[in-house]
Amino acid sequence: MSKPVVLCIMDGWGLTSNVDGNAPYLAKTPILDGLLKRYPNSTLSASGEAVGLPDGQMGNSEVGHINLGAGRVVYTGLSLINKCINDGQLDKQEAVVEFFNLVKERGSKLHFLSLISEGGVHSNMNHFLAFADLAFKQNQPYILHAFTDGRDVSPHSAKTDFIKIIDKLEKTNGKLGVISGRYFAMDRDKNWDRGEKVFAYLVGKNKEKQFDSAINYIESSYVAGVTDEFIEPAVCSSSLDCTIADNDVVVFLNFRPDRARQLSHLLVGSNNLYDYKPSFKLNDIALYALMDYEKINLTKTLFPPFDLKNTLGEVLSKNGISQLRIAETEKYPHVTHFFDGGKTIDYPKMTKILIPSPKVATYDLKPEMSAPEITVALLPELKRFDVVILNYANPDMVGHTGSLEATIKACETVDIQIGKVHAEVQRLGGTLIIIADHGNAEVMIASDGSPHTAHTTNLVPFIICKEGIKLRDDGVLGDIAPTILSFLKVPQPPEMTGKVLWQS
């Protein structure tokens, strides 16, 4: 066995023939250009049904890493919830019945928290619409606290979305409470000042910024140059008595956990997940979530977590193979928790290295992020491990800012780092596999000429830095784990239904 086998994930680096706004194409990438000429390469499907999402749904980092680690197509939150709603089974879910009953028993308020977006990355607006209809059917008033997106969708899509939301609220006896951009409500990098800002409005400790009309408030933000992601927290002036209070029931409709956990921690605490103590403590809040927010003190999860057997990490461990996971803060959960099938686990002979992401307001201000620091930490460790899972976050995280210039720099940074990693892997006699988990950076300009900040459905690159082999051209992300096992001469378990993508 030649070691190490290094899987390098260029997060958000997609492929398209359109050169306008295509940061990877416009970037100076001599290393990757050289590797493409020297080694066998192909493309991978990283969106839609190829990764267990609805047809035409853009890929994302959570789903991408789950498929990568599982070695199979995994049907995750979005698909499972959509099917439940479409099959008319939502009101039959045990936890759904429970939280409606609990509101009535307590005589308390029912709150929905949700990212309002059609992006399908962290939430889907249709899920809230379904719960609103169900609440109306149950004759249960409710309050919606809405978080605006502008990151996984167009930066100015909230206005259109809220026309639908307000119509639904009026028809289903709902009220709009707090509005906040996801920058504040959905931080995952322990910027607690952001979360506290929206938390203060949710619990009624701050009512300074108010609005009469959600549409007018969103429009005024646009006039001030503020896009959806960064809309300041504010409360509806007619809903000042609709804040979250002791004994209330809260349902968080984001199905993806990583950007829901910090706000959830402020509401109900967690089991040794964060040390941070919120500025205000609520008592006896019942918090339900669509999917499991691991280590958060949830009352119940509406949809049980999937249990993936024989993920790559588990198979490596069973065979006594050492493994390293390394990424900066923004993508650390992806190479650990998500890669291991939505579980946080420490296998024997596994090491995890977390490099802190830079503390900047937005990553276009530092497009290098912590990629150089990752490489510095990685290189001396390579000789110690059989398998390395490595993520460079730059193309995705900087791509989300909408800055083409900064995203070009982000791609150039990753190219430089890959050059250093490739050189050391070559020296050690190992194999470097280069892929991406979804597209983003290759489309930085929308069709109307505005900045494009969302993911894409484009194919992603696939390079195996090994001469004398041939690659299949119909691969998906779920084929990568079996491919790695084949290099290690480890039998592929039956649960891994992906296929090996190379032959000699």
Do 239 and 368 belong together in one domain?
Answer: no
Distance from C-alpha of 258 to C-alpha of 243, rounded to nearest angstrom: 24
Residue 156 and residue 163 in contact, taking contact as beta carbons nearer than 8 Å: no
437-481 confidence digits (pLDDT tens) = 999 999 999 999 999 999 999 999 999 999 999 999 999 999 999
Do 465 and 362 belong together in one domain?
Answer: yes
pLDDT over 80 (residue 504): no
Distance from C-alpha of 220 to C-alpha of 160, rounded to nearest angstrom: 14
61 labelled catalytic = yes
Do 296 and 318 belong together in one domain?
Answer: no
Do 410 and 277 belong together in one domain?
Answer: no
Distance from C-alpha of 86 to C-alpha of 91, rounded to nearest angstrom: 12
CATH of the domain at 207: 3.40.1450.10
Do 193 and 245 belong together in one domain?
Answer: yes
Instruction: State the first-to-last Cα distance of the chain, in angstroms, to the nearest integer.
Output: 16
Is 228 annotated in a binding site? The answer is no
Average pLDDT, the chain: 97
Read out DSSP for 292-334? --TTB--SEESSPPP---S-HHHHHHHTT--EEEEEEGGGHHI
* Residue % of the chain over a pLDDT of 90: 97
Residue 396 and residue 23 in contact, taking contact as beta carbons nearer than 8 Å: no
**Final residue belonging to a domain, choices 301, 324, 347:** 301
Residues present in the chain in total: 504
**Final residue belonging to a domain, choices 243, 268, 301:** 301
Do 191 and 234 belong together in one domain?
Answer: yes
Residue 39 and residue 465 in contact, taking contact as beta carbons nearer than 8 Å: yes
Q: Half-sphere exposure (CA, 13 Å, Cβ side) for 38?
A: 12
H-helix or E-strand spanning residue 97: helix 94-106
Nearest Cα neighbor of 72 from 284, 309, 372 is: 309
Residue 487 and residue 5 in contact, taking contact as beta carbons nearer than 8 Å: yes
Do 70 and 96 belong together in one domain?
Answer: no
pTM summary value: 0.86
Encoded amino acid at 15, one letter: L
How much is the pLDDT for 426? 98
Do 61 and 116 belong together in one domain?
Answer: no
Number of domains in the chain: 2
Nearest Cα neighbor of 23 from 32, 36, 31, 14 is: 14
pLDDT over 70 (residue 217): yes
Do 345 and 278 belong together in one domain?
Answer: no
For residue 95, count other CB atoms closer than 10 A to its CB: 18
93-136 confidence digits (pLDDT tens) = 999 999 999 999 999 999 999 999 999 999 999 999 999 999 99
Strands 431-435 and 460-464: antiparallel
Section 390-406 average pLDDT: 98
Burial (CB count <10 Å: 0-12, 13-18, 19+), residue 379: middle
Do 273 and 338 belong together in one domain?
Answer: no
Is 489 annotated in a binding site? The answer is no
How much is the pLDDT for 374? 99
How much is the pLDDT for 1? 53
Is 437 annotated in a binding site? The answer is yes
Do 324 and 282 belong together in one domain?
Answer: no
pLDDT over 80 (residue 299): yes
Is 340 annotated in a binding site? The answer is no
pLDDT over 70 (residue 172): yes
Do 56 and 21 belong together in one domain?
Answer: yes
Is 258 annotated in a binding site? The answer is yes
For residue 98, count other CB atoms closer than 10 A to its CB: 16
Residue 43, domain extent = 5-75+309-503
CATH of the domain at 326: 3.40.720.10
Active-site residue among 47, 61, 270, 370? 61
Is 152 annotated in a binding site? The answer is yes
Is 188 annotated in a binding site? The answer is yes
**Final residue belonging to a domain, choices 277, 301, 325:** 301
361-394 confidence digits (pLDDT tens) = 999 999 999 999 999 999 999 999 999 999 999 9
How much is the pLDDT for 240? 94
Encoded amino acid at 251, one letter: V
